[in-house]
Amino acid sequence: MGKIADGVYRIRIDGRENLTLSSPDRNNIFLLPGEGPGQEWEIQQTGNGSNGNNTYTIRQASAPLFVGFDGSPDVFERVRPLPEAREWRIVDGPRPGTVTIGVVENDLTLGLHPALIFPPLVALSPVFDEDRGWSLQPAG
């Protein structure tokens, strides 16, 4: 996949559920099927991280909120919308046409929170053999 062009995308896990900013509170990031509000994210290359061209920020297209987490990255820490930009590593995923979105500081990646609730939450996750990757679909 290589470098990702700066732009606005829908970010899907397993090609089914979209990364979605909760509404109206804007305090959570969920995974929801279908198309709806809060599902468009601006990805912008930063080039400031240790991984150079593979380092990006992910910002909600309709609000000044970034995909992030509080403090240091820990296993299954919830991923939340935050006003401060956080860099992410975006590299080729486990299947053709997919990417892995990971923490710059270690090997944790964007994945499912283990709580079995609906809608599913997003969390920092270790890499599992079952991971199918995220797909980036240009919005619009």
Asked if residue 2 belongs to a domain, the reply is no
- Tokens representing 17? 């559920």
DSSP letter (8 states) at residue 127: -
Asked if residue 83 belongs to a domain, the reply is yes
Tell me which of 15-24, 48-57, 86-95 is least confident. Answer: 48-57
Across the chain, mean pLDDT equals 90
Confidence bin at 39 (pLDDT 50/70/90): very high
Asked if residue 1 belongs to a domain, the reply is no
- Determine whether 2 is exposed, middle or buried from the number of CB atoms within 10 Å of its CB (0-12, 13-18, 19+): exposed
- Tokens representing 4? 């990702």
Name residue, tokens 């609000």. 63
Structural domain of 46: 7-138
Asked if residue 93 belongs to a domain, the reply is yes
Asked if residue 67 belongs to a domain, the reply is yes
Q: How many structural domains does the chain have? A: 1
Asked if residue 14 belongs to a domain, the reply is yes
Per residue in 67-126, pLDDT tens?
Answer: 999 999 999 999 999 999 999 999 999 999 999 999 998 999 999 999 989 999 999 999
**pLDDT value for 101:** 95
Residue 50 has pLDDT above 70, yes or no: no
CATH code where residue 39 lies: 2.80.10.50
* Close Cβ partners of 79 (under 8 Å, ≥ 6 residues apart): 29, 67, 68, 69, 110, 121, 122, 123, 124
**pLDDT value for 22:** 87
Asked if residue 27 belongs to a domain, the reply is yes
Phi-psi region of 97 (alpha: psi -120 to 50; beta: other; left: phi over 0): left
**pLDDT value for 35:** 87
Higher-confidence position of 6 and 49: 6
Q: List residues bridging with 12 in a β-sheet.
A: 18, 135
Asked if residue 76 belongs to a domain, the reply is yes
- Note whether 102 and 110 are within 8 A (CB): yes
